[in-house]
Structure 1
């Protein structure tokens, strides 16, 4: 018989320190697979849920497929969803009944909150040295589950829930989960100091909080979170491509916000910083196609601002440099998935140069 386990705690975790960084920086929902280490015991979920029914279990919203946030009951059918999710419907998505009213279910929401706390603080007990297997140990009633602040597992779990909610446009839910994650990592920073792992995790989560604020139309808060992300990520070694990519993206997002706010000089400054980070990466990793694509995108952003500022010759130089990069880029078979992006960016760049050439011809005509 399969023993119910906490759905986001791995059966073994020889390297927990990378779990949140890999989830947060890449945007992936999945935590790393079990390693099969039999030196640990998988604890039972304190609420009785296993990994098979967790995703769409009784504490999850069937619309966003994340844990319920502002749990709300449909009247008269009593089906439960997140408030934001169900507010978009006139009929219940589950049974089709007309929704006459919506009622908050505070008791259920309290259970969801306790579910998060309970699962976040499980630490598996080590087996004894008698050679008993993990399955035998898990079924042994003498084994005790130790509750402890395991913030890295909790962080991976919260990011997973936030990503589901964000994709479903339940931004408040995503922001809440990410805020909890950021607070957990900050607590660890206070205890352990600014380690590379913790700073990279916090930098990535802060960037995701910036995305939430931008989606909510709060540009000031978004800029604040992106700037905090940059502050933490710039403390880290620049030889990790995952970290440098996240740093360059945060810089570009601040640049985007400045651009749309009309502050072109500030936008160019952030774009140019991002370009510098990406140039440094391809100096050390000239064979990585995705990084070359990133440089081309940054060149396009800087050139676009230069054109808007009236620096046409400088802009064309930037566009043409990016075109040369992409035209000389040869993708390996395992990088074939980058080809659509390469062609899309290349098409944009060529259109920008063609626009200038067209204007030149027009002005030279009698």
Structure 2
């Protein structure tokens, strides 16, 4: 399943106009005509052109990972600047081809990038009568508004770019700021389904970053926190159900590699329960049936390693029965290939009996 930005369906709760662009335009036009709503919001726009809707490279982007610069590093002698993790893989400058004699940190530029991220999409300007504004000598107050949608989507875009380029530290940095934004929103709004699902997805991605860098303990902590928030969301959304079960299985995998088989089985079984519950409500969805078979296989594998051979065999057989009874349309060739692959694995496990 491809990664989906958890902010794509979100809308800012204190600004209903963002839901329908046409309504927003009409409202703004009415404000311009009447000049009656002095404190209405003008949507902030990044002067560099960065936003969460389009693929944009700006002056603060790394040309290798195409995300915002992280740990800015300057090539000597050509002075081109990239993320430290990105340029460390090269001997020649990717932009000009010059030999890299050494790489120097550029803390000043990094400070600019950090300040840019801190303020991105946060400023809320008040629309006031121009003549009245000119008469007033008081300094205008800058208000910082909720950013769970605007900056969250922007940071997710940057994090996903960094992840695709294997720049894990950059991705972690952006995701951490994103998580802080949503947590601030949770403190004000409470545990709403949208916010819990957003935070659960972001924390899960942070867990993936830690797992990729070999930090198993931090990965488990993030996955557990992700599960905690996803558990608060109604289980009628296939994407949320999948994300929750995957996070549980990832914790199980890490526990398995650590040799804690009892803990691994507990998490695998929780994932199995989530997936079984999903097919009880949507039993016609082939991908979810395959997910249940995979969870059965994980639990059975642990049972075998714990010496419970009969229980393990029963689990493998149940999974095989599910897959053999599953009918997949010819249009879903990739899903059928996945079904066959899992079925071959399960039959191979039974042959080891």
Under a length normalisation based on structure 2, what TM-score does the superposition of the two structures give? 0.81
Structure-2 separation of matches of 1:284 and 1:78: 59
Using the TM superposition, give the Cα deviation of residue 238 of structure 1 relative to its aligned residue in structure 2, in angstroms. Answer: 2.0
Structure-2 separation of matches of 1:225 and 1:77: 40
Which residue number in structure 1 is paired with residue 117 of structure 2?
A: 116
- Determine which of 211, 215, 223 is the counterpart of 2:220: 223
Mapped pair 1:330 → 2:327: yes
SS of the aligned residue for 1:74 comes to: strand
Mapped pair 1:352 → 2:349: yes
Under a length normalisation based on structure 1, what TM-score does the superposition of the two structures give? 0.78
SS of the aligned residue for 2:74 comes to: strand
Using the TM superposition, give the Cα deviation of residue 299 of structure 1 relative to its aligned residue in structure 2, in angstroms. Answer: 0.7
- Determine which of 152, 172, 177 is the counterpart of 2:174: 177
Structure-2 separation of matches of 1:233 and 1:93: 42
Mapped pair 1:209 → 2:209: no
Which residue number in structure 2 is paired with residue 314 of structure 1?
A: 311
Mapped pair 1:260 → 2:257: yes
Mapped pair 1:149 → 2:146: yes
List alignment gaps of at least 5 residues for structure 2.
29-41, 128-141
Structure-2 separation of matches of 1:34 and 1:80: 40
Structure 1's 88 and 347: CA in aligned 2 closer, same or farther, altered over 3 A?
A: same
2:44–2:123 Cα contact (<8 Å) kept? no
Higher RCO (C-alpha under 8 Å, 6+ residues apart):
1
Using the TM superposition, give the Cα deviation of residue 122 of structure 1 relative to its aligned residue in structure 2, in angstroms. Answer: 4.9
Structure-1 separation of matches of 2:271 and 2:243: 10
Structure-1 separation of matches of 2:74 and 2:84: 8
Mapped pair 1:16 → 2:32: no
List alignment gaps of at least 5 residues for structure 1.
1-7, 19-31, 127-144, 357-366
1:286–1:292 Cα contact (<8 Å) kept? yes
Structure-1 separation of matches of 2:54 and 2:100: 27
**Alpha-carbon displacement from aligned partner over 1:106-138 (angstroms, at most 9, x marks no partner):** 222222223323333156989xxxxxxxxxxxx
SS of the aligned residue for 1:120 comes to: coil
Structure 1's 294 and 48: CA in aligned 2 closer, same or farther, altered over 3 A?
A: same
SS of the aligned residue for 2:149 comes to: helix
Which residue number in structure 1 is paired with residue 49 of structure 2?
A: 49
Using the TM superposition, give the Cα deviation of residue 47 of structure 1 relative to its aligned residue in structure 2, in angstroms. Answer: 2.8
Structure 1's 78 and 327: CA in aligned 2 closer, same or farther, altered over 3 A?
A: same
Structure-2 separation of matches of 1:53 and 1:330: 39
Structure-2 separation of matches of 1:89 and 1:341: 37
Using the TM superposition, give the Cα deviation of residue 200 of structure 1 relative to its aligned residue in structure 2, in angstroms. Answer: 1.3
Q: CA RMSD in A?
A: 3.0
Structure 1's 265 and 53: CA in aligned 2 closer, same or farther, altered over 3 A?
A: closer
1:120–1:151 Cα contact (<8 Å) kept? no
Structure-2 separation of matches of 1:105 and 1:78: 10
1:185–1:201 Cα contact (<8 Å) kept? yes
Using the TM superposition, give the Cα deviation of residue 85 of structure 1 relative to its aligned residue in structure 2, in angstroms. Answer: 0.7
